[in-house]
Structure formats: C-alpha cells, structure tokens
Amino acid sequence: MNMIEMQDITKKFGSFTALDGVNLSVGEGEIHGFIGPNGAGKTTTIRVLMGILKATSGTATIFGKDVWKDSVEIHKRIAYVPGDVNLWSNLTGGEVIDLFLRLRGDKNAKYPKDLIEQFDFDPRKKCRTYSKGNRQKVALVAAFASDADLYIFDEPTSGLDPLMESVFKEHVQKVTREGKSILLSSHILSEVEELCNQVSIIRQGKIIETGTLTELRHLTRTSITVTTKEPLLGLAQLPYVFDISTKGDGTNFSVDTEHLGEAIAYLNGKDILDLKCLPPSLEELFMSHYAEGGH
Amino acid sequence: MNNRFFASIRPLVSLILRRDRLRILIWTVSIGGFLGALIPLLKEYFTSGADNAVSAQMLENPAMVAIVGPVYGASNYHTGAAYGNMMLLFMAVTVAIMDIFMVARHTRQDEERGRLEMIRSLPVGRLAGLGATFIATLLTNLLVFLAGTGFMYFFMEDGMTLTGCLLFNAGLLVSGLFFAATTAVLAQVFTNNRSVISWSFALLLFLYCLRGVGDVSNETLSLISPLGLVLRTKVFVDNDWWPIVILFLITCTVAALAFILARIRDLGSGLLPERKGHAHASALLCGPGGLAMRLLRTPFIIWTLVMVILAAMYASVFGDLESFMDSNEMLKLVFGQNPDHSPTEQFVGLIIVIMSMIGTIPVLSFTFRPAAEEVRGRAENILSKAISRTKYLTTYLVPGLLISLLTQVLMALTFWGIGSAVMDTPPSLETFLIGFLSFLPAMWVFQGVGTLLVGVLPKRTSLAYLYLGFSFIVVYMGALMNLPEWVKKFTPFGLTPQYPVDDWNFPLLLALTGVAILLTIIGYLGYNRRNIGG
C-alpha cells in the first residue's frame, strides 16, 4: 500500500486554480522529492495532504485514510515541518519542541539533548529572538525526535547554513534506513538529487513529470567532452547530437541520453584519447522543463 | 547637521511623520475633539440645577480622589474647575499612552525588526534615529497641543479662560514628553519591543498609583509623580505654571539620559541582556489546553483585575449616590420615575449591565484567539498534530467561559463588600449575585456569535465588537435618551431583565442560553469544514 496517494486533486481559491488535477503517490520506504518553482503549488499540495486545506475535488489518502476526514488519526504517524515556521514569541524554543512532542500523545515527552547539540541550537531563548533558520530547527528537532512513519518536509533547509543542511541530510538518511517514508519539497536540486529516489516536478498546479531519477534522466541529454586522434567527421549529421563546439583539441557536444551507446560506438571508431561524460544534473532537467513551459 | 551623531536627521524625521501620518491625524483629532466635546457635556451635568457644592463633595470622596485626583476650587465649583478635576489626569494618561507607543515603535521595534540596521548602513549619524524620534514625537505633541487648545477655546464655558486652556494643554504636552523620554530610556535597556512597552506601561501605572496614594494621604508622593505634578497646576482655578517648568526640566534630563545610554551601547543590544528561559516545557504545557492556558494566562489575570478594580471604583461611590442623585436634575429624570425602586437600585442595575458588557470584551478576545493564531500561521503547528479542530477550538472557548463566570461572581462580591461598607441600607449579596449572573446568558450569546464568526467568517471577527458597541449604545444611551423599548430587543443585554428593578425571567435566560449553544454549534461545524489559512 502506498503511504501517500493523491488522485486528480484540484484546489481552487475563488476563480484561481492552485492545483489542477494533481496525481502523486509515495510508496513505503520511498524518499520522494517534490520540486517546482515558487508558486507552483508545492505548499498547497502539502497543506491539502495535512488536512489544513480542503480539496475542491479528487481523492487524497495517507496510510489509506482520507486526509480530510481522518486527519487526526493520520497525524499520529506523521511528522511535518512547514516551510514557514511561525512560533509563539514568549515561549522558548525548548518549550515549543517539548509541546510539539507532547501533542503527539506522550504527555511527559522531552526532546533528547543530543539532537539539540547536533543542530547547534539554544533551546532557552524566546522564539521571538530566533532567526528563520533557528525557527526551522525547532520544527526539525521536533520532527526527528518523534517516531513517525511518514515525514513531510516543506522546503526544510531554506534558512539553514550548509553545515546544518548536512546535519539535516544525515538525519533524513538515518530515518530512511529505518524504513520510513519521506516527502521532501524543495527547490534546492542538489538536495533532492542527493537524498531522493523518486522525483515529481510540479508546475502551475500540475505534475509535469514523475519517476525515478534514472527514468527522468532518459528525458535529457548527457554532455560529452572528447579528444580523438581522427577528426570527428559527420558528427554534426548524427540526429541525436546537439550543441557542438570545439575548445583547443577537445570537442564538446550533448547527446540524447537514450542514444548514448550509439554515440560512444561512433567515437570508438575515431581513436579516443580522452573522454569525459557528465550525467545530466537535476538542474538541467529542471531548466529544460521550465524553458519549455515558459513559452 | 552633519556630524557623526546627528547626520541626516531631517529625512529621518520626515520618514517617521510619513509612516505615522494617519496615526498622528487620528490621535490629534480624537484627543482634540474629545477635549472640546466634553465641555458642554460636563456643563450639562454640573449646572442643570445641580448643587455644585454637593458634586464637589462627592468628588472629594477618597476613592474618587485616588482615581481622578484632588478637587480644587470646591467653594466655587464652576464648569472649569470640574473640567480640570475630571479631565486633566485622564487625558495626561491618554497622551502618555500615545507617546509610549510612538517612541517604542520608532526605537526598539525598528531595531528589533532590523529596519534600523538598514538606516544605519547609510550615511546617518549614530544618534540620528533617536533624535528623529524625539523631534517627531515633539511635533506630534505640539499638534495635539494646538488641536486641544483650539477645541477647548471654541467650546469654552464659565470659569474657563484662554490661559487655562493653554495651561491644560501644556500640562498634557510636558507629561506626554516625560513618558516619551522614559520610554526612550527603557528602549536602550531592553532588547525587545514587548519588554519596552510592558515596562513603560508599568512605570505609567506605578506613577499613577503613587499619585493616587499621594493625593489621598501624602502630598510629597504626588509631587514626585509627574502625573501628580501636572494636577498641581490647579488648572482653571489658580492656573499655576511652576509644575510645567519643573516637569519640563525633568523631561530634558531623562531625554539626555536616553542619548547617553544610546551612545554607549551596540546596535541590536540592550543594557540588560535577554534573560534565558526554560530549556524544557513545564508539566502544565503538555497539550493544546496547556498551550491555550499559557497564552491566555496574562490577559486572563489582567482582565480579572481590571474588572474587579472597575467594580470597586463604581461601588465606592454608592454611598454618596443618594445625595448626588437628589441634586442632579438630569439623573433625576433618568432614575426618578420608578416609584417601586430607589434611584440607587436603578443605578446599580444599570452599572451591572455596563460592567457585564465590558466583561464581554475578554470573552470575545479569547474566543477570537484561534482566528488570530490562524492569521499568524501558528494554528497550523497544532492542527498538523493529532489534535482535532473541535478540540483546538474548545481549548480557547473554555477560558472564555471561565472568565465570564469568574468576573461576574467577583464583581458581585466586590459590589456587595464595598457597598456594605459605604451604604446605609445595602442590597443583599444575593441581589448582586442574581443581578450579575443573570447576564451570563447574554455574554454567552456573544461568545456564540464569536464562535460562529471564527467558524464561518474568520476575517470579520470585528463584527462581534461592533455588535457589542451597538448593545452598549442601546442600553447605556437608551437610559439617557429614552430610546423606544423595541430597539433594546435587538441585543441580549437589552433583553435581559435588570434585576432588582425588573423581575427575574428564568425562561428568557434559558432561551438565550439555548441561542448561545446553537450559535456555538454552528461555529464548530463551520470551523470543521473550512480551509485553515495562514
């Protein structure tokens, strides 16, 4: 059974369609990256999943239960970190973390000290004095200190420094090893690339691409830098080769990833001296989609 | 000015005036208008056949002196003397509140939000921000001075002179600036705006009480408090200017202190470091109920105190009521027509409704807390946990219900306790209890309306306050202006019988409670059905 199953979810605010038939599924043990530009509908999708917004149409379930009707049941097994963490100005960070843990049922819960230390966080300051990054740490510590089956993160690292980002990644990998599932919304592509095994791309309220990173890479081009003894005659005529340029002895070009084998076979006949082959980054994948959609 | 302390002060003054122009306009017009409009009202009260000596005598009651200040010129108690007596202290406090907010907003709040850092990164003097705040506050107070003097001069009545009007407003000006200066000092001491405002108000309250104690028992204490000092101008009676001069000198000293402190500290820091809080939550903070309790704790205590103090103030005049009523034609007109009940009983009945309506304000504000939490994006923190919306809403409705019960009972006890001490034939405790408790259903109807708004129209919660304001006008002014009876039927406070004057009507109270429950249920249903914004 899938952890998250969204089918044809549409969400309208008045005449504005924020989500337009979103389909999304996250399987057990999956780390699902959810990427898209600002205003694409990432947060709206997550807030529908959290039972905070009511979908206009479509069905959405978590653990097989309806996200709107059974939200309380579902939330017992979810840890959620919103993109914008708003806290009570006159409570301390430590008090809020404890409160968040206790709201999950254990009335005497206290956060473990080592987690605070790893995130380099001072729990004794009032929330009004925390920066955005520190407020995010409150929600992250509370999430990682709780024993959930599904973690939902909405741009969790947008206020963290690189050091804290790596602490976050360690913890994500730790819960993954325990077989937990994660939905991670982000526009930091390297993060998604590093952590996730499944990716969905959302744009203007629609999921435009979904699949494993390997699957998505098939849609893109690999860039090749090659130096050969013999001239590369006829390279420009190959239908799957693009963007040829020369620099010193070397030649740069990109090739449809699907036809990578044929390109290598062609180069083989030209006596290769040096070959560099770069896989497409998610960055390029992202850019190619937005460039297409933009026109 | 182009030096390292005050460079670019002029554009900063313009910036403050631009940011605050609407606020300044509203304060100026409302304070000025109020100062003027109250003159004919007071004249009506004190000269429409009333024996002014009796009025002055009532105001000389220690409780009244503690609240509004000492009576001057009792032998010839004209409108001017009464105006100075009843208005000067009250208005000085109002202007002080305006100045506290204004100075805190442009000093510590700007610094806390990081706006001052932006300004300071430009070629701006180190003390220019503070200097600009003082200049803008001074200009605002001068505007209020002009508006106040103008309005008062326009409405002038017997015993009032232009000199008196100028002195009255000069008193408001210097005492306002004194509190502006103390706020500026506190803004150097504390690192957050909340503390600056809380401590400024604590100081205002302390100086008010110091004056209260001084006015009743020890003149020296009154002279130490700027609020007491201002009253020593004996405006419209003796018109003394020396307190203004002294207070002005004190204000300059305090302002200089603010500049000295601002010079020696770093941007963003305070002279007092932020205290460390608790590393862990206490056992009480263990669920949504604990959180609501923690968030509402301070307002709960403050509102309870405010209601009891208000009740004590009213109760303290019960003793002088009879003689005062007899001497005042207008009040005779309002209360003198009922042969079965004494004017005092009728007055008590009216005060109970008014107090109940004031007591409805905290009930509404607690009920609206979930909507406020939602707007600030904090409700999401709770609702994304295993907490149902019904439970979340309930955690804020229960404190509202509790404060309605608690304040009504405490006010009844206060009326009875103080009333017994000052009246010859005080009503029984039971009378007060029934009087206050019979307004509970009306308060609950308002809580029901509040819940309904939170559930269905969370952005329009102010409608409930409008409805409360309407009820206030209908009930309070209705008594003075003889509004038709049917108008009263549009508000639960008008519908509820005023015991002991009216008979107790149990079925009606039960029906109101039923309406309250129905409204609350609709509110819950709406809240469970809608999107949570943020």
pLDDT per residue over B9-43, tens digit each? 999 999 999 999 999 999 999 999 999 988 988 88
Residue A281 vs residue B261, higher pLDDT: B261
Tell me the pLDDT band of B327, cut-offs 50, 70 and 90. Answer: low
pLDDT range class, residue A282, cuts 50, 70, 90: low
Mutation target vs A (from B198, B374, B376, B384; most A CBs, 10 A cutoff): B384
What distance in Å separates residue B280's CA from the closest CA in chain A?
Answer: 5
Residue A168 CB-density burial (10 A; 0-12 exposed, 13-18 middle, 19+ buried): buried
CB contact under 8 A, B280 and A95: yes
Higher pLDDT, B245 or A249: B245
Cα(A19)–Cα(A42) distance, integer angstroms: 9
pLDDT category at A295 given cuts 50, 70, 90 is very low
Distance between CA atoms of A233 and A251, rounded to whole angstroms? Answer: 12
CA of residue A253 relative to chain centroid, distance: 29
Token look-up 């949570």 returns: B532
What is the pLDDT, as a whole number, of residue A268?
86
Considering the domain boundaries, does residue B89 fall inside one? yes
What is the rounded distance in angstroms from the CA atom of residue B105 to the CA atom of residue A180? 48
| B471 has a pLDDT exceeding 50 | yes
Average pLDDT over residues A46-61: 94
B49 and B168, same domain (yes or no): yes
For residue B278, which residues of chain A lie inside 8 Å, CB to CB? 92, 94-95, 124
Residues in chain B within 8 Å Cβ distance of A94: 277-281
Closest to A72 in 3D by CA, of B527, B350, B382, B378: B382
At B421, the pLDDT band (50, 70, 90 cuts) reads confident
- Report how far apart, in Å, the C-alpha atoms of A46 and of each of A9, A81, A97, A242, A289 are: 12, 10, 22, 39, 22
Which of A52, A72, A89 shows the shortest C-beta gap to B388? A72
- Residue B179's nearest CA partner among B232, B241, B247, B235 is B247
- Tell which wins on pLDDT, A174 or B423: A174
Tell whether the model's pLDDT for residue B277 goes beyond 90.
no
Nearest CA in chain A to B278: A124
Q: Do B376 and A86 touch (CB under 8 A)?
A: yes
pLDDT value of position A181: 96
- Tell whether B366 and B484 lie within a shared domain: yes
CATH of domain A4-216: 3.40.50.300
Q: Does B154 share its domain with B91?
A: yes
* CB burial readout B399-408, b (16+ within 10 A) else e: bbbebbebbb
Do both B413 and B506 map to the same domain? Answer: yes
Q: Is the CB of residue A210 less than 8 Å from the CB of residue A183?
A: no
What is the residue-averaged pLDDT of chain B?
A: 89
Distance CA A199, CA B424 (A): 84
Span A64-110, pLDDT tens digits:
999 999 999 999 999 999 988 999 988 999 999 999 999 887 778 88
Q: Is A61 left (phi over 0), alpha (psi -120 to 50) or beta?
A: beta
Residue B194 forms part of a structural domain? yes
DSSP summary character for residue B157: -
State the CATH class of domain A221-279: alpha beta
In chain A, what are the domain boundaries?
4-216, 221-279
Instruction: Find chain A residues with C-beta within 8 A of B197's C-beta.
Output: none
**Residue B75, pLDDT score:** 81
**Tens digit of pLDDT for each residue in B300-312?**
999 999 899 889 8
Tokens of A94: 């430590």
Whether residue B1 has pLDDT greater than 70: no
Specify the pLDDT at position B169: 97
Residue B279 in domain: no
Q: Give the pLDDT confidence score for residue A117 in this predicted structure.
A: 94
B142, B175, B177: which is closest to B256 by C-alpha?
B177
A44-53, A224-233, B513-522: which range is least confident on average?
Answer: A224-233
Tokens of A52: 């905070």
Q: How far is B366 from B451, CA to CA, in rounded Å?
A: 10
Highest average pLDDT, of A195-209, B394-408, B499-513, comes from: B394-408
Find out whether B512 and B492 touch, Cβ atoms under 8 Å.
yes
Cβ-Cβ contacts under 8 Å, A89 against chain B: 194
Q: Is residue B1 part of a domain?
A: no
Token pair of B345, please?
Answer: 């009983």
Range of the domain at B39: 9-264
Asked which of B264, B279, B304 is the last residue of a domain, the reply is B264
For residues B257 and B300, state if they share a domain: no
| Residue B361 confidence (pLDDT) | 94
pLDDT at A229: 87
| A170 half-sphere exposure, CB direction, 13 A CA radius | 10
- Residue of higher predicted confidence among B64 and B481: B64
B465 and B393 assigned to the same domain: yes
Query: Does B333 score more than 70 pLDDT?
Result: no
Residue B228: pLDDT over 50: yes
Percent of chain B at pLDDT exceeding 90: 59
Please give the C-alpha separations between residue B259 and each of B104, B127, B181, B473, in angstroms, as whole numbers. 15, 7, 10, 47
The reply to whether A65 touches chain B by the CB within 8 Å rule is no
Per-residue pLDDT at B337: 63
B223 and B337 inside one domain: no
In this model, does residue B338 exceed pLDDT 90? no
Q: Is B365 exposed, middle or buried (0-12, 13-18, 19+ CB in 10 A)?
A: buried
In a domain, B410, yes or no: yes
User: Are residues B68 and B186 both part of a single domain?
Assistant: yes
In whole angstroms, what is the distance from residue A155 CA to residue A191 CA?
10
pLDDT exceeds 50 at position B252? yes
pLDDT over 50 (residue B487) = yes
Q: Is the pTM of this model over 0.95?
A: no
CA distance B270 to chain A (A): 13
Instruction: State whether B249 and B306 are in the same domain.
Output: no
Q: Closest CB to B278: pick one of A88, A103, A124.
A: A124
Which alpha helices (DSSP H) does chain A contain, by range?
A: 42-49, 71-75, 93-102, 113-118, 132-145, 162-177, 189-195, 213-217, 260-268, 282-294
Q: Is B189 on the interface with A (CB under 8 A)?
A: no
CA dihedral B231, B236, B242, B243 (to 10 degrees): 20
pLDDT interval class at A294 (50, 70, 90): very low
B17 and B120 co-located in one domain: yes
Is residue B286 within 8 A of residue A107, CB to CB? The reply is yes
Instruction: Let me know whether B359 and B453 are in one domain.
Output: yes
Q: Please check the confidence at residue A169 and state whether its pLDDT lies above 80.
A: yes
Q: Is the pLDDT of residue B134 over 60?
A: yes
B236 pLDDT higher than 90: yes
Beta-carbon-side half-sphere exposure of residue B364 (alpha carbons within 13 Å): 24
Interatomic CA distance for residues B202 and B8, integer angstroms: 34
- DSSP string spanning B177-215? HHHHHHHHHHHHH-SSHHHHHHHHHHHHHHHHHHHHHHH
Q: What is the dihedral of CA B489, B494, B497, B501, to 10 degrees?
A: -120
Among A55-59, A198-202, B21-25, B508-512, which is the least confidently predicted range? A198-202
pLDDT of residue A193: 81
Q: With 50 as the cut, is the pLDDT of residue B407 above it?
A: yes
pLDDT at B530: 93
- Backbone φ and ψ of B527, nearest 5°: -65, -35
Cβ under 8 Å to A: B residues 383-442: 383-388
**Greater confidence, B366 or A188?**
B366
**pLDDT at residue B2 tops 70:** no
At B51, the pLDDT band (50, 70, 90 cuts) reads low
Name A224's bridge partners.
A253, A277
- B113 vs A126, more confident: A126
Q: Collect all residues of chain A within an 8 Å Cβ-Cβ radius of residue B279.
A: 92, 94, 123-124
Identify which of B280, B380, B530 has the shortest CB distance to residue A94.
B280
In angstroms, rounded to a whole number, what is the distance separating the alpha carbons of residues B59 and B281? 50
Q: Do residues B238 and B294 both lie within one domain? A: no
ipTM value greater than 0.90: no
Question: What is the total count of domains within chain B?
Answer: 2
Specify the pLDDT at position B273. Answer: 74
Does the pLDDT of residue B62 top 90, yes or no? no
